[in-house]
Structure 1
């Protein structure tokens, strides 16, 4: 494990602990709520595991946040600028996709931007479910092609295409090509009044 990976695992660990405590959930309650074993959550919270994107999405769903929220530092920042050097890179150990949280950390905006580099022929399927507040997401393809399945509907997106949907059902991503695909994900958590 590289120093950067260990540091990001520590960040994820602190963030999961913080979010679980803020919701008053025990390890057992979170495990029951998100379908991840208590022992795995404990390993993640101690920074002793390199969880997959699918596992982190289950935790995010159980905690009622977007996956991108798990990569934020536990200490909020007042800086409205996120410098490239400070934007965390994370590689999914299962699919090899690389995500970079672009947005400034700190929660001063209900919008988060993530850039993804998705390898050729890779596939990731999330068992996403409804969250409160409702989370809206847009996938904007910057380079190449990606197939996004939301529920039962599959959308083949080419460079420049953008798909909008709500995170309230299973979502999968598949790169059917032989080249890397790059896309941006824009996530907005909106209170009930904005629906």
Structure 2
């Protein structure tokens, strides 16, 4: 019963929060989900029982789904405990869950000068990539260009340009965001590379 009450409270908070995020008054949302403003107010404040046939139009009006509106508030998926994946000169920690926001994947990488960055390592795929340098100096190869990015700086670029990320002088750490294509090329290919003799190929 306690869990049901807790979820009931969360649902009410979600309705109110989504309404306010859109800048809507009670009247504005009520007109979109065919409820009276007073009924909607009592739903938000807990003075009225929430009925399923009310939640469906409310969710639709708020631009969400019934599943998302009533999903459990349990937080077992909040903490991510990344496990390091190693290839030559590169260690990667996956920092986002399986349902990463908008298909994006967040990863932390530690790159040492031992990582191969020759022409055969240059990667090309659709999309864009972004990273920020946590420590060290990154040597980013973009086609014929070499760009040095210092700690505290960030870089973004089209991944249709052949590219590879390396370390200048000493080890570097970066925080990077991949879209779906970048995640597939860099992280999945590195999994394959870590089990092959050519562990430095085709990454970032």
**TM-score band, normalised by shorter chain:** 0.3 to 0.5
Relative to the length of structure 1, the TM-score reads: 0.47
Larger Rg: 2
Structure 1 or 2: larger helix share? 2
Structure 1 or 2: larger strand share? 1
Relative to the length of structure 2, the TM-score reads: 0.45
